Structures are given as structure tokens and as C-alpha cells.
Amino acid sequence: MKKLLLIFVVGAFLLAAYPASACTTTLTGKKASADGSVMVSHSDDGLGDGRLIYVPAMDHEKGSMRAVYYDGCSLGYKPEWGASETHRIVSKERGPGYNTPGYPQSVPIGFIPQVKHTYAYFDANYAIMNEHQLSIGECTDKAKVEPEPAAGKRLFYSSELSRVALERCIKARDAVKLMGELIDKYGYYGTGETLLVADPDEGWVMEMCGYDKEGTNGVWVAQRVPDDSFFVAANQFRIREIRKGARDMMYSKNIFSAAKEKGWWSPKEGKLDWTKVYGDGEYHHPYYSLRRVWRAQSLVAPSKKVSAWVEGPLTKEYPFAIKPDNKLSVEDIFSVHRDNYEGTEFDLTKGMASGPFNNPNRFEGQAEATSGNDEALTPLKGAFERPLNIYRCVYAYVNQSRKGLPDTIGGLTWFGPDRPATACLMPFYAGVNNLPAPLQQADILKFSHNSMWTAFNYVANYAMLKYSYMIKDIKAVRDQYETEAFGKQAEIEKTALALIKNKKIDEAKQMLTKYCDTNAQNILKDWWKLSETLYIKYNDGYLNTSAGVANPVFYPAWWLKQVGYEQGPLTYIKQKGEQ
């Protein structure tokens, strides 16, 4: 009986505890960017489905219905809704990329009326960008109430909301309204969520959550980001006071009545503070979210001298959006995601925890390692700093939506597989006919040389053996490809634009598709070559090159002192303190 009880408890723990999908997302207004684009970025920080899928445009018969699927990003993998922990959707109706035999078919939570035509888009754990430059980013937030999905009552989570928006909308404002209407009509389940929605003209922050475990709707709010500003969210709601009648805000009709009904807010208290009323602070420990908000704002606007220290989780120290000191580029935005607090008092490349070779990765060992479970996985109380770059990131990207260019060229996703610090950005234009096959293949439980995600994850993990050395080799290959891609951008777009002006749109799309595919295939080949180079060059802890084999790379003196290197064994006499 004791053994049976133990099995039951462990099984229940595994079902309740699911990998934390804790992301960082940013939005840069068109007057804050270097090239006038509206930029959205996102790092998907939960080890799971690493595929970037191309969903083609489709025509649908009148009266047809669209399936709404459950997504494990919401409340963890649930076998009753089909698919798997490694494949978020398995269905023929979402195009070839999601038609993956050998995995359980996704089971719809429910259906909504389909539209006559749906747009093509890039999709991952959340939708990314469609053929009309509509762009989305995401982060998970802690809400007071996180309802379960229920057929006929609670159909939508942010992931499927984002997909419907890209299937049906061209403008950010329309996408926000549509997603709000879907929440109102079909209900919302899962965690609190932030979705960033942008087009070439403007960008919006939309936040949502449930407020009743058995409710049949949800609650949401949206706020426009000023064109000259930069916004960042990191697993905590960021919209504060609801201003009735404000032109830069939208919200659900029940936002005030639901808060009063739950006793969370009274009009006597003044304006409703969305983050305070519907949110539940930071995940896991102080500064899990706020440190990243501070770091991102301090990187883009150092002159503002925002403080790293605040009084509590509901601080207003960090403004909703901040005007950057200089106009921002794609490289600037992705460098934020690559950050490990280097050069600050929180620098994760320093100290004993980074080891002798300055490894910034900190494996999580307590409740922060999972969502939905608060039990410590170690008897020690404590926490490491939570960086913008984290080892369990499955992908990251920067989207550009650019006015004055045809959608085919203007929409551009710079995609980096696995964690940002060791990723290489690859360009994919909104007008491509498909995405490279290696990007659409990934299974975290299978090793595949044909998978882009596997290649990058493999190199990133291997680099942790001698990080301060290997990161230089990785950057050398990465910088070569990124510099080439940014350098070629103007020429590629000039050629595509000329074809479009001559009404050769199909030729332009084919050219862009071939360019993006060739670039990605070359990176995949060279990344596996890099993995072999790292293996040989640092084999057995030595430095091995054509100049010499087995050249020692010893530990730094500061680290040797702290681990007791000086205490022996240097003599046959027992040293003081030895057992």
C-alpha cells in the first residue's frame, strides 16, 4: 500500500507540475526604431515544441467551422486534448506543417464559425506574423484565477486567440477587438497573458485572464504603445489604471463589474488598477519579473537611471513604456534578449555559481522550475537571479512591420532557435511560400540532424562545459551569418521590390523563399560543423588545434582558491581541518 501511495503521489505531482513557460516580450514604436518599423520581440522560455511552422492561406466552404485546440502552454500537457508534450498541434486542417503522423490527433475543445479566407502566417507556441505584416509577441502572467478549459464554456487561451487573429486580421487594432470578442463570447481559460499586437502603423499591449473558475467568459484590457517608446513585459501584467473613454485604451465591458463582484475593487478606491486587481504579483520570487523589466529599460534608456530596487511587486517605478536614448535596431532588441546582466551587480557570468568558465546558466531547482506546483525541489530556501537569456528558452525572435513597403517584403521575422545568447538570427519574409523544412521539424525527445532546433540546442548545451571559451567560437560563426544577412537585406529587398513593381509578385515570393531557405540550410550545415569543432577543440578539457594537441586550459586562480585547491594534497602530513 505504501508503494502504491508513493506512485500515486509522484504521478499527481508530475501531472500538476509542468515546465514554466515564462517569457519576455517587447514592442518598439515606429518613431523609436532605427528604420521606422514597428518591432515586436518574444523569447519563449519553456522547453517544449521548438518548431516554427508555416500555415498557408486557405479558402473555406460556407458554413464550415474552425476547430479550437487546447495548448499545453496554458496549464501544461493534458492527454485528453490530444497532440503531445513535444507537438502542440497535430491536425491536417492547419496545413502540412501540423500534419505529423505518429502523434495523437489534437482534440478540439470546441468550434467557431470559419471565415471564407484565412491568411498565411508563421506559427510557433503562439502565432508570430502573417502575410500582411500583422505581428504578435507573448508572455505569461500570474493571475488570481486560472480556469481550466471546458467545452462550450471556456474555449480560448492566448495561443489560439493569436492564431485566429493572424488568420483573419490585417490591422493590430482589429486583431485586439477580435480577440476580445472571442473571449467575451467563447470564454477564456489558463494563465494570465500579455499579447503584443503590431502592424506597420501602431502597436498594442493586450492583457487577459479569467476571474471565475466556472466562468463562461474572461476579462481583458489593451493599451496602445506610444510611437516614440519601447515597451517590455516579463511574466507580470504591465497595464495599470483603466482610463474610461481614453483613445489609447480598449477593455472588456465586464472589467469593472467582475472586479466588484469578486470584491477585488470598489469605485471608492479610485481608478481600477488592472495589474493590482486582476494580477497576482510576480511568479516564484521577488524580481523574477521586475528585474528583467528594469534591465530591458536600463539597456535602451540608460540616461533614465531606472532603479534595480523597488518596494514591492506592484511598484510603479517602471513606466508602462519608455523613450529610448537612441533609436533601436533589430540587433539592439535581440541584444536585450541575449543579456545575462553582464556588467551589473547581478552579472551571472561572475562568481562561484558561474563556475571556473563564467557559465551564466542557472538551473532552477525549486518551485520556479515548474508552474502549478509550489513545493520546493530542494530543502534549501533561495533563488538565483532570473535573466532575460535563460537556458530553457526554446526560441526567440524580432518581428519588423514596415510601412511603405509591400507586405511581401515589409513583414520580416528574425528568428533564433533555442536560447538567445547562442542563437543565430535568420530572416524570413512575410511573403515566402513556405519555411525551411529543418525549422518545421523538432522533437525534444528525439535527436535529429535534420532539425534546426536540435542543432542549436546541442551546441548550447555543449558550450556549458567551457562557456567562456566556446561562446567566442559560437559568436564567430553567428556574427558572420548575422552580419551577412543584415548586409544583404537592402539588396534582396531592392530586387524583390523591382519584381513586384513589374507585377511579378509570384517571382518575388519565390526569390525570397529561396533566399531564406538557402541561408537557413547553410546555417544548419555550419552549426553541426561548429558542434564538431567544439568537440575536437576542447576535447578532454584541453585546447586542441593544428598548432598543438593537449594544451592545458587550467582553472582560474580565483576559483581554485574558493574550492580549496591550495589545501592539498601537497604533503604527507594531515592538514588542519581534514577528516
Cα–Cα distance between 424 and 486 in angstroms, integer? Answer: 12
**pTM of the full predicted structure?**
0.95
Per-residue confidence (pLDDT) for residue 376, from 0 to 100: 58
199, 247, 252, 321 alpha-carbon torsion, rounded to 10°: 60
Per-residue confidence (pLDDT) for residue 573, from 0 to 100: 85
Of 449, 426, 450, give the one whose Cα is nearest residue 440.
450
Per-residue confidence (pLDDT) for residue 1, from 0 to 100: 41
Q: Would you give per-residue pLDDT tens digits along the chain (579 residues)?
A: 444 333 333 333 333 344 455 899 999 999 999 999 999 999 999 889 999 999 999 999 999 999 999 999 999 999 999 999 999 999 999 999 999 999 999 999 999 999 999 999 999 999 999 999 999 999 999 999 999 999 989 999 999 999 999 999 999 999 999 999 999 999 999 999 999 999 999 999 999 999 999 999 999 999 999 999 999 999 999 999 999 999 999 999 999 999 999 999 999 999 999 999 999 999 989 999 999 999 999 999 999 999 999 999 999 999 999 999 999 999 999 999 999 999 999 999 999 999 999 999 999 876 565 555 555 566 778 889 999 999 999 999 999 999 999 999 999 999 999 999 999 999 999 999 999 999 999 999 999 999 999 999 999 999 999 999 999 999 999 999 999 999 999 999 999 999 999 999 999 999 999 999 999 999 999 999 999 999 999 999 999 999 999 999 999 999 999 999 998 888 888 877 666
From the centroid of its chain, how far is CA 323? 23
Cα–Cα distance between 562 and 348 in angstroms, integer? Answer: 17
Per-residue confidence (pLDDT) for residue 10, from 0 to 100: 36
Cβ atoms within 10 A of the Cβ of 245, count? 5
Report the run of H or E that residue 65 belongs to, with start and end.
Answer: strand 65-69
Set of cell numbers at residue 192? 494570465
Per-residue confidence (pLDDT) for residue 484, from 0 to 100: 98
Q: Report DSSP state, residue 565.
A: G
Cα–Cα distance between 200 and 133 in angstroms, integer? Answer: 7
DSSP 3-state percent helix, strand, coil across the chain (nearest 5)? 35, 20, 45
Per-residue confidence (pLDDT) for residue 486, from 0 to 100: 98
Per-residue confidence (pLDDT) for residue 539, from 0 to 100: 97
